[in-house]
């Protein structure tokens, strides 16, 4: 009886955790969908705004990331690894690893450009890669990822089914960002024609303890995205 109760509590805890993650993700997406979209050129300095645009690397020499499970080039990623455990006649997933990484990138809309530093941002990204496998049937990148996190032999994972999920933000993709931007001189911008024209500027979005950025690539939050722009050649 005690084991059955423990198994039920464990299953219920996992279900509640999964529900919490889902509800938090949905809350963030609702927040983004209800916030009005602003153009970068009209975004006020120091104001909370929502921008929808296209992502680019800062330059041809800028550092990019590789998705740990797929090897895809990206600017941000989230990877989770879960394993199965039984609960009566059914099974549930339990998270073993969660890893995130990001690099600063450019965000462009039809009116301007911004630098986005996603460090400490709150993200709700679309997991577009998922694979299940037993430990002895792992692909090389999956095995390498497990080893990185200290799982070099089956151990507790013997006879477990593993699930790998990866979400990335690629250069050239559409995202939405909600946060406070600060306007700064744009060293790559072209001054407007005319005497005493104002120097070109760009926005910079970073997180603060009080106002972390919220970033999503979910299509329901980026539907008002402009057509993809060509990367700057300056």
In a domain, 96, yes or no: yes
What is the rounded CA–CA span in Å between residue 133 and residue 162? 5
What is the rounded CA–CA span in Å between residue 97 and residue 82? 7
List average pLDDT for each run of 10 residues in the chain, which is 234 residues long: 34 39 81 89 93 94 96 98 84 93 96 96 95 94 95 86 97 96 85 61 94 94 58 44
Residue found under tokens 């099974």: 91
What is the rounded CA–CA span in Å between residue 116 and residue 155? 41
In a domain, 232, yes or no: no
What is the rounded CA–CA span in Å between residue 18 and residue 98? 14
- How crowded is residue 103: how many other Cβ atoms within 10 Å of its Cβ? 17
Sign, Cα dihedral of 112, 113, 118, 124: positive
Q: What is the total count of domains within the chain? A: 1
Q: What is the pLDDT of residue 152?
A: 87
- How crowded is residue 225: how many other Cβ atoms within 10 Å of its Cβ? 19
Asked if residues 157 and 151 have their Cβ atoms less than 8 Å apart, the reply is yes
Asked if residues 79 and 145 have their Cβ atoms less than 8 Å apart, the reply is yes
Phi-psi region of 120 (alpha: psi -120 to 50; beta: other; left: phi over 0): left
Q: What is the pLDDT of residue 232?
A: 46
- Structural domain harbouring 26: 2-191+198-221
CA-angle at 102, arms to 208 and 114, nearest 5°:
65
What is the rounded CA–CA span in Å between residue 169 and residue 218? 11
Query: Could you give phi then psi for residue 163, rounded to 5 degrees?
Result: -125, 125
In a domain, 6, yes or no: yes
CA–CA distances in Å: residue 5 to residues 10, 87, 216: 9, 10, 39
In a domain, 231, yes or no: no
Q: Kindly state the tokens that stand for 57.
A: 């690397």
What is the rounded CA–CA span in Å between residue 33 and residue 205? 19
In a domain, 217, yes or no: yes
In a domain, 234, yes or no: no
In a domain, 229, yes or no: no
Task: Work out the widest C-alpha separation in the chain, in whole angstroms.
Answer: 84
In a domain, 227, yes or no: no
Q: What is the pTM of this model?
A: 0.80
Q: Which residues pair with 100 in a beta bridge?
A: 78
Name the DSSP class of 89. Answer: T
Q: Kindly state the tokens that stand for 87.
A: 């609960």
């Amino acid at each position: 009886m005690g084991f059955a109760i423990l198994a039920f509590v464990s299953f219920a805890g996992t279900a509640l955790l999964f529900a919490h993650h889902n509800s938090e993700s949905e809350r963030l997406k609702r927040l983004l969908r209800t916030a009005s979209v602003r153009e970068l050129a009209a975004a006020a300095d120091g104001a909370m705004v929502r921008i929808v645009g296209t992502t680019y690397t800062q330059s041809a020499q800028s550092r990019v990331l590789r998705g740990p499970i797929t090897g895809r080039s990206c600017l941000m990623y989230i990877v989770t690894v879960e394993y199965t455990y039984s609960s009566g006649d059914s099974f549930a997933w339990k998270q073993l690893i969660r890893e995130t990484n990001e690099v600063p990138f450019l965000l462009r809309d039809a009116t301007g450009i911004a630098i986005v530093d996603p460090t400490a941002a709150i993200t709700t990204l679309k997991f577009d890669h998922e694979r299940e496998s037993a430990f002895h049937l792992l692909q090389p990148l999956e095995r390498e990822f497990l080893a990185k996190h200290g799982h070099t032999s089956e151990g507790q994972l013997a006879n477990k089914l593993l699930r790998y999920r990866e979400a990335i933000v690629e250069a050239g993709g559409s995202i939405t960002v909600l946060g406070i931007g600060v306007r700064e001189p744009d060293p790559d911008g072209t001054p407007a024609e005319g005497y005493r024209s104002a120097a070109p500027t760009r926005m910079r979005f970073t997180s603060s303890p009080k106002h972390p950025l919220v970033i999503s690539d979910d299509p329901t939050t980026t539907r008002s995205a402009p057509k993809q722009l060509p990367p700057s050649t300056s």
